[in-house]
Each structure stands twice: as C-alpha cells, then as structure tokens.
C-alpha cells in the first residue's frame, strides 16, 4: 500500500452517530488511494482490468481501509454481510447509516425551525443551528461541506426574526449592515456577531460588579472613630456601644473606641 496515512483519527472513525461527517472524509481518503471508483462501481471495464493488473490485491486493500476506519463493532458486523467485498461493504454501510433523504431533511428543518432561541446563551444557540444546517447540507449533497448561500441566508433571516425581544435590536442592526451588500448575511456572520455581543456583555457585567464592590466598602474618618457601616452590607460591627446613637458614642470615646 502507498506510504500514506490511511487511518482517520480515532474520534473520526464511523460510529452510530457520525455517518454524515464520516462519508465525505472516507470518499476523500479512498480517492487519494485510487479506490473510490472501485468501491462505488463507477470505473469502466477497461480501467478496472488495467488496475487489477497493476495491483491484484486492491480490493483487499480497499476493504482494509474501510474496516480500519470504522468502529470495531461496526466493522465486525458489516464485514460478514459484505462477503469480503469492498463495494458491498460500502453499500451496506450506506444502507445501515444513511438517513432517508426526504424524511431526514424534514427532520433537520424541523429541528432548526422549532429551536427555542430564548433558552440558554444566544451565541451557543446560533452555533447549534449552524451545525444542524451543515448536516442538512451534507444530507442534500455529500460533495459539499457547507450550506448553500440561499439556505444559509434564509435560516439566518429566520434566526434574526425570531430573536428574543431584548436582542431584536442587535439582529436588526446586523441585518441593516448587509443591505445592498453583494453577500447576504450568513449564519456564521450572525454567530460571530453574537459572540462579540456576549463578550461585551460579560465584560460590562464584570466592570459593574467591581464598581459596586468598591462603592460598597465602609468609609473611614479618623475624627469619627471606627469606619461607618453601610446598612446594606454585612460588614463587621464594632462591639463598643453598637446600640448607642453616634453622638453618645463620640462623647464616651472622643477619639474612637480604645
């Protein structure tokens, strides 16, 4: 086999939940080694005969690449069904894991359009919608790795329209910035905008907390004895005449408590 890496990282191997991401990666890998047309049965008889002469064990090698890039349990299950044929292995994997196109396109769209944008953090919500949109795009055409401009901008507009009330102004401003632009607003742009919004909001909250902390500290006046306690803060109270009016405390201890 050619001196190239023919194994995907462990976390990218086929599992029960990542077929849509695994398939295009495997297509690229098999194409690099010259086996993709073999397993999809798209090569001509002439090309097939010539390739078999150059590499008599190519079917065995193609099957090995497929098995090595699957979860062990999945590989063991489908190797039996395929009768050691890489084309059959590819077909049964596709049949076993590929979502039924129309049914699952609807499922992905329902996931997007029933998303509750008011729950959780808005930038995380938009990121989740971005991931669902990419999976929908792969389902429609596994040759693409990102959504078409039309689908992407339509979903971005839906998100803007359905933003929680206190965030609608941000969405409106974001959309107005794209008016007349050749490139329509995208989900990725919208997500980046709300990431910045969250950062600014957190920064402002932290600064406000620091200011409140500074303003809430007890003041100290050397002529009045111990620091005056803010009634709204739980600071330590002086044990000396704490229940007496301030004027009487001053008469007893004119320079503060001993």
Spatial distance between the Cα atoms of 204 and 144, rounded to a whole number of angstroms: 40
The neighbour count for residue 163, using CB atoms within 10 Å, is 21
Q: Assess contact for 86 and 63: CB atoms under 8 A.
A: yes
pLDDT at 185: 73
The pTM of the whole model exceeds 0.75: no
Q: Assess contact for 173 and 186: CB atoms under 8 A.
A: no
Spatial distance between the Cα atoms of 257 and 255, rounded to a whole number of angstroms: 7
pLDDT at 34: 92
pLDDT at 177: 74
pLDDT at 102: 60
Helix (H) or strand (E) holding 136: helix 122-140
CB-based contacts of 191, cutoff 8 Å, min separation 6: 123, 126, 127, 130
The neighbour count for residue 154, using CB atoms within 10 Å, is 15
The tokens for 208 are: 């406000």
Render each residue's pLDDT in the chain as its tens digit; 258 residues: 444 677 888 889 998 778 888 999 999 999 999 999 999 999 999 999 999 999 999 999 999 999 999 988 888 888 888 888 999 999 988 887 876 656 677 778 888 888 888 888 888 888 889 888 877 776 666 544 455 777 888 888 888 888 888 888 888 787 777 665 556 678 888 888 888 888 887 776 666 655 555 555 555 454 555 555 555 544 444 444 444 444 444 444 444 444
- Collapse the DSSP code of 247 into the 3-class scheme (helix H, G, I; strand E, B; otherwise coil) and give the result: helix
Domain boundaries, the chain: 10-97, 101-200
Sign for the CA dihedral angle at 70, 74, 77, 81 comes to negative
The tokens for 57 are: 């064990």
The neighbour count for residue 198, using CB atoms within 10 Å, is 14
Spatial distance between the Cα atoms of 138 and 157, rounded to a whole number of angstroms: 21
């Amino acid at each position: 086999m050619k001196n190239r890496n023919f194994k995907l990282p462990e976390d990218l191997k086929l599992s029960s939940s990542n077929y849509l991401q695994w398939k295009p990666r495997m297509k690229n890998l098999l194409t690099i080694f010259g086996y993709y047309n073999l397993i999809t049965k798209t090569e001509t008889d002439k090309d097939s005969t010539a390739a078999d002469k150059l590499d008599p064990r190519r079917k065995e090698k193609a099957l090995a690449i497929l098995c090595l890039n699957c979860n062990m349990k999945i590989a063991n299950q489908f190797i039996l069904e395929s009768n050691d044929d890489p084309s059959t292995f590819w077909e049964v994997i596709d049949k076993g894991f590929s979502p039924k196109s129309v049914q699952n396109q609807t499922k992905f769209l329902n996931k997007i359009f029933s998303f509750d944008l008011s729950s959780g953090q808005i930038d995380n919500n938009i990121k989740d919608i971005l991931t669902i949109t990419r999976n929908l795009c792969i389902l429609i055409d596994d040759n693409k790795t990102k959504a078409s401009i039309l689908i992407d901008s339509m979903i971005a507009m839906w998100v803007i329209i359905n933003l929680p009330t206190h965030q609608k102004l941000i969405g409106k401003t974001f959309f107005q910035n794209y008016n007349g632009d050749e490139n329509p607003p995208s989900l990725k742009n919208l997500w980046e905008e709300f990431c910045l919004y969250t950062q600014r909001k957190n920064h402002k909250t932290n600064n406000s907390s620091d200011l409140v902390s500074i303003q809430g500290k007890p003041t100290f006046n050397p002529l009045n004895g111990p620091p005056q306690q803010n009634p709204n803060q739980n600071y330590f109270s002086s044990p000396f005449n704490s229940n007496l009016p301030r004027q009487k405390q001053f008469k007893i201890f004119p320079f503060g408590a001993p």
